[in-house]
Chains A and B, each alone.
Chain A
Amino acid sequence: MTPDNATTPTTPSYTPHPIPWRIATVMRIVQETPRVRTIVFDVPGWPGHRAGQHVDVRLTAEDGYQTERSYSIASPPEEAQLSLTIERLEDGEVSSYLVGELRVGDTIELRGPIGGHFVWDFPDGGPLVLVGGGSGIVPLMAMLRHRALASPELRRALPARLLYSSRAWGEVIYRDELARLGANDPTLEIVHTITREPPPSWTGFRRRIDRAMLEAFTGSAAERPRLYVCGPTPLVEAVADTLVAMNYDPATIRTERFGPTGGTG
């Protein structure tokens, strides 16, 4: 058994004051895939965040009924405006509103940033190995966008790989931006696997992430990469178990499990 100080957080984000609810105004909406939207907010007073953190969103109906959900932040710390990328869930009380109803100029309440474990910043080091499924790409994208803003020298010191599983090519979130990031950066490798409906000409992986794929992708355990795994629970369980079996130190594997972005709603 590991003593508890084995995972004592190295950079505690101890906040003595309450995290206030802030009014966020929708500035822009980007349709990423048929079911996924990025909403760009202006949030006066936003204190900044680290790549991988999330926010709580609160909606209020006319009769005062309120509900909350958590969503990962998609934008890098360097951007003044805050982006959330949200997948519309069947029957999702909040996601169907955010993806279906919300318009430019509308306001919602949010507070954050929240979460101090599934985060990556330059001092955390590399190599950075990211494994994502579906909308689990969102916090990983914040990390890649953050890294993309580093100097080429720093990027060379922090090589990164992304293995991203999607059901269909048309459901690959940030597809064009990922292609651009990969094309412009020899120290970034991006591999897709398309599990259900690969395009006819597809020559890449077309199965769920498995050990052979991870062995071809993650590099040596001796490099002690920083591993971040985010996606639906079955994917995260399978990938994290496999990485442990491949002798990666469990303490270097950070996970975030969800259905869709940040919650089941």
Chain B
Amino acid sequence: MTSPISRGFHGRRPAPGAGRLPPGQYETHDFPVLSEGPTPHTPLDKWSFTLVGAGGKKARWNWTEFEALPHEKLTTDIHCVTKWSKFGTAWSGVSIDALLAAGAAMGVEPAPYAVAASDGGYTTNVPLADLTHGQAWIAVGYDGEPLAAEHGGPARLLVPHLYFWKSAKWIRELRLLDHDSPGFWERLGYHNYGDPWREQRYTGDE
């Protein structure tokens, strides 16, 4: 179906960098907050991160140990399914590649699917192939500062090439699975994969 013209709508053409804006999105300079419940505030001395392998083997890091893993800095665009995109966001964190390498040394076996699980019970699923090869991080810093709790601190998953609900805030665990297991929003009508460039917002979108 061709969309009818909205009478009298002229819109605001995205300025330079329009090629960076996926379909249906608009650029924001704010950093909106979207979460389905209260913001958890886990103290760093109670925080740990666990990588669970397909065979059930676990690797766990407390905050001090996690901070000792190699950190990277990156700058990337992010795209929220609620339509905003934010360009050039600056993060720091541990790449999933580095995490898997450290986990492998502790016997954690990889698997084709992953589920991120967070404080508060939130979950989201991502194929492991979308987390490796420099595509995803456990982010602990934003704009040169520790990541604020309302934006997912102390640590959140960052998978910038997928809609931002995949970048689970307050992540505490990454489970590697031999089967796909839809997470919180994926079971509530949102797309299982969530590619912003193909506008995969909701279940059934191509």
Contacts and interface: CB of A to CB of B under 8 A. Distances in A.
A66 B205 CA distance: 18
Contact of B39 (A4, A9, A237): A237
Contacts of A21: 1, 3
Given A7-B122, A15-B203, A263-B84, A114 B4 contact: no
Interface in B26-54: 26, 28, 30, 32-41
Nearest to B116: A4
A259 B26 contact: no
A48 interface: no
Interface stretch (A75-83, A135-143, A172-180, A246-254): A246-254
A141 B183 CA distance: 29
B19 interface: no
B117 interface: yes
B32 A67 contact: no
Interface string A58-101: 11111001111110000000000000000000000100010001
B167 interface: no
A79 to B, nearest CB: 22
Contact of B83 (A1, A23, A70, A233): A70
Contacts of B122: 4, 7
Nearest to B199: A68
B202 A15 contact: yes
A157 interface: no
B10 A61 contact: yes
B2 to A, nearest CB: 9
A257 B121 contact: no
A106 interface: yes
Of the candidates B10, B28, B41, B82, the one having the most CB atoms from chain A within 10 angstroms of its own CB is B82
Nearest to B150: A237
B36 A117 contact: yes
Contacts of B92: none
Interface in B103-151: 115, 117, 119-123, 150
A116 B189 contact: yes
Contacts of B188: 9, 12-13, 115-117
Of the candidates A16, A67, A115, A240, the one having the most CB atoms from chain B within 10 angstroms of its own CB is A67
Contacts of A65: 11, 13
Contacts of B56: none
A8 interface: yes
A109 B202 contact: no
Contacts of A93: 11-12, 26
Contacts of A250: 37-38, 40, 120
A3 interface: yes
Contacts of A13: 188-189
B115 A4 contact: yes
A9 B121 CA distance: 11
B27 to A, nearest CB: 10
A257 B202 contact: no
B32 A257 contact: yes
A7 B117 CA distance: 11
B198 interface: no
A164 to B, nearest CB: 20
Nearest to B23: A66
Contacts of B37: 240, 250-251, 253-255
A2 B119 CA distance: 7
Given A114-B189, A250-B38, A109 B4 contact: yes
B150 A61 contact: no
Interface string A221-265: 000000000000100010011011000001101110111001111
Contact of B35 (A97, A114, A115, A255): A255
Q: Shortest 9 CB-CB distances between A and B: which pairs?
A: A116-B188, A240-B38, A18-B204, A7-B121, A4-B123, A2-B121, A68-B24, A6-B121, A59-B6
